[in-house]
C-alpha cells in the first residue's frame, strides 16, 4: 500500500468531505426527536420488564 504524505492526505480528505451530502436542519431535528422518543420508550419497557421480573423472583423466593 502506497503511503501518501500528510498534505496530500488532507487534500484528499477535503475533496471527499466536499462530496458528502449533509443533512438539513429539519432532518436533524426530526432524527433527534425520534431518537429521544425511542430512548424513552425503550427505558420504560426495560423498567417495566425489570419490575415484573423482580416481582416474580420475590414471589418465588417468598413461597416456602
How much is the pTM?
Answer: 0.68
Confidence class of residue 2 from pLDDT cuts 50, 70 and 90? Answer: confident
pLDDT of residue 63: 74
Q: Is the pLDDT at 1 greater than 90, yes or no?
A: no
Coil, strand, or helix at residue 1?
coil
Q: Are 4 and 12 contacting, i.e. CB atoms less than 8 angstroms apart?
A: yes
Domain positions in the chain are 24-63
User: How far, in Å, CA of 32 to CA of 25, rounded?
Assistant: 11
CB hemisphere CA count around 19 (13 angstroms): 6
pLDDT of residue 64: 58
Q: Is the pLDDT at 4 greater than 90, yes or no?
A: no
pLDDT, tens only, 11-54: 999 999 999 999 999 999 999 999 999 999 999 999 999 999 99
Amino acid at each position: 500500500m502506497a503511503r501518501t504524505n500528510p498534505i496530500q492526505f488532507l487534500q484528499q480528505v477535503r475533496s471527499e468531505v466536499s462530496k458528502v451530502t449533509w443533512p438539513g436542519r429539519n432532518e436533524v431535528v426530526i432524527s433527534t426527536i425520534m431518537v429521544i422518543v425511542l430512548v424513552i420508550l425503550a427505558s420504560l419497557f426495560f423498567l417495566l420488564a425489570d419490575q415484573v421480573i423482580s416481582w416474580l423472583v420475590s414471589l418465588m423466593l417468598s413461597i416456602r
